[in-house]
Amino acid sequence: MSPVLIRRVRLGAAFVLLTYLILHFINHALGLISLDATEAGRRWFLVMWRNPIGTLALYGAITVHGVLALWLLYQRRSLRMPAWEAAQYGLGLVLPALLAAHVVGTRIAWWQFGTEDRYPRVLLGYWVVAPERGIWQAITLTMAWIHACIGVHYWLRFRRWYPRVAAGLFAFALLLPTFALVGYVAGGREVVALARTPGWREALARVTHPPSPAQSATLVQIRLRFLEAYLVALVGVFAARGVRHLWQRRRSIRVLYPGERAVTVPVGFTILEASRTAGVPHASVCGGRGRCSTCRVRVVLGLTDLPTASEAEQRVLARVGAAPDVRLACQTRPVRDVAVAPLLAPSTAPTDALAADVRQGRERELAVLFADLRGFTRMAEHKLPYDVVFVLNRYFETVGTAITTAGGVTNQFTGDGVMALFGIDVGPAAGCRQALAAARAMVEGLATLSAELSGDLPAPLRIGIGIHAGSAVVGRMGWGQSFYLTAVGDTVHVAARLEQATKDYNAELVVSEDVGRYAAIDLSAFRRDDLAVRNRAGRVPVRIIARVTQLP
């Protein structure tokens, strides 16, 4: 089975189990209303899960999820992993053993001996007959919920929309089990009170048909057989890992990292497992599942000796626009010595997962916008520094909002100037249209700001904007904490010159004719000129737009 198929099947099984758990918790929470409400909810719950399809879905999901978890445990060469992953694995491995008694006492007892697992009967067991089992059951369900929440969080966390919904999901993840536990306690207290009523227990036994002592002994045997089988499967996986380890130790390879660091691991380890084994810091937002791309490495030596990337790996690499010598460390198992350089910082944030691979710089066609406040330096001379900072921050807020709303990326704020990039992902045609829309929004926003600050400003704020489009090298540049996306090249140089030219032309906007052509906008109504640009052969044909509001 391919890793992608395994992942999909496992995810499907996990969804079935998550649905079951959520509905089970909602059912428990009905205990807040009454025991009768809980029991009524259970009947609906059983309609869904105790029909042939529901049974197949639920027990199929439990089997698939469990078997694949053991398979993945066998597959991974190193057991070194981040704490969250270890917690998820650990909880997942103990849950079958902890849940066995509950499943055997309810579902199997019903199936084998016709015992009705109604809420009052189950709660009687957990609150009156054996309260310690009741506490364990509450702990077990909480552990199952934590296991599920970790899985969902780490599955979703590098989706772009996730930060927007994370707070809501977190609240849900906290409130649902809380309500379920409170409902469980309320139901339990009701049952404790009812159990004191003479004849209640007997009446309950008549309708629920508890197993006879012989049947109870059979159920205990079933539980013990299951636990034995599970233990054998677990020990078997670890034994198989040990045998494989001994076998593979006969042949090892070296993974070389920048700074002459070398790690020797048996053949069969992924590059990420090699990093983890030796404690080499290595980004892996998705935990090595081949989904986030953050573990990617440039292969400095030994590229041709590496096994070909799987289709899934190629898809992820293509999605981030990776260069041909880049591989996913978590998916690549070298068979010979290899030298690699991780491309992302170990502390890479989930939001950087699957982001275009611009760190190394890529040539793109895009639009570049420069803007500058006119006469602000002179104006600032007569103001207190605090006032200058206040006005500048309001100005940056106004133009920054206009740029990002139009789809651009604010790049540099220097003095009272700003540089922005448009069309990095969507191409120069859309980029030019976005840049022109941003220019209009900037001027309009500045007019509003000037009106707002009219009491503090000697004259309304004015701006000069230059836009040019063409190719530039775009990449994340900087050092330490100061990395930002920027562009370099002739296009940037020309855009800066067009912004300066707005002073000479006394215009709000000067754009190169390339911008009009890319944006498919007719600028022939505006004055044309050929602009000389320092250190550049040939002149740049431009259009001079005195008032941005005149733009079509």
Enumerate binding residues for ligand FES (CB under 6 A): 284-286, 288-295, 328, 330
The residue (of 312 and 339) whose beta carbon lies closer to ligand FES is: 312
Task: Look up residue 430 and give its two tokens.
Answer: 């859309």
Q: Which residue intervals of 196-326 are DSSP H helices?
A: 200-208, 213-248, 271-278, 311-319
Question: Residue 28: what residue type?
Answer: H
Q: Name the 3-class secondary structure at 548.
A: helix
Nearer to ligand FES among residue 118 and residue 291 (C-beta) = 291
Q: Please list, residue by residue across 367-388, b when 16 or more beta carbons sit within 10 angstroms of its beta carbon and e when fewer do.
A: bbbbbbbbebeebbeebeeeeb
Q: Integer distance in angstroms from the first to the last C-alpha of the chain?
A: 58
Considering beta carbons, is residue 241 or 289 the nearer one to ligand FES? 289
Q: How far is CA 543 from the centre of its chain?
A: 44
* Residue (122 or 326) nearer to ligand FES, CB: 326
- Residue among 340 and 446 whose Cβ is closer to ligand FES: 340
Contacts of residue 381, defined as CB under 8 A and 6 or more positions apart, other chains included, come to: none
Residues 6+ apart with CB under 8 A from 43: none
Q: How far apart are CA 201 and CA 198, in angstroms?
A: 8
Q: Provide, rounded to whole angstroms, the least separation between the CB of residue 276 and ligand FES.
A: 11
CB 114 within 8 A of CB 215: no
Q: Which residue, 277 or 294, is less far from ligand FES as judged by CB?
A: 294
CA atoms of 413 and 300, how far apart (whole Å): 36
Give the SS3 label for residue 220: helix
- Rounded to 5 degrees, what are φ and ψ at 270? -80, 165
* Pick 20 or 154: Cβ nearer ligand FES: 154
Strand partners, 263: 255
Distance in Å, CB of 116 to ligand FES, minimum: 47
Q: How far apart are CA 285 and CA 332, in angstroms?
A: 16
Rounded to the nearest whole angstrom, what is the least distance from the CB of residue 268 to ligand FES in the complex? 17
How near is the Cβ of 64 to ligand FES at its closest, in Å?
23
What is the DSSP code string of 125-191? Answer: IIIII-HHHHHHHHHHHHHHHHHHHHHHHHHHTTSTTHHHHHHHHHHHHHHHHHHHHHHHHHHHHHH
Closest to ligand FES by CB, 270 vs 491, is: 270
Cβ proximity to ligand FES, 143 vs 317, nearer residue: 317
- Closest approach of ligand FES to the CB of residue 349, in Å: 13
Give least dist CB 74 to ligand FES, A.
19
Closest approach, Cβ 73 to ligand FES, in A, equals 17
Cβ 329 to ligand FES, closest distance in Å? 6
Identity of the residue, 82 or 478, whose beta carbon is nearer to ligand FES in the bound complex: 82
Q: In terms of C-beta distances under 8 Å and separation of at least 24 residues, what long-range contacts does 248-252 make, across chains too?
A: none
Residue 449 · residue 394 · CB < 8 Å: yes
Would you say 228 or 311 has its CB closer to ligand FES? 311
Shortest distance in whole angstroms from residue 3 CB to ligand FES: 11
Residue 253 has phi, psi (to 5 degrees) of -130, 170
**Cβ at position 93, least distance to ligand FES in Å:** 22
Residue 291 C-beta: closest distance to ligand FES, Å: 5
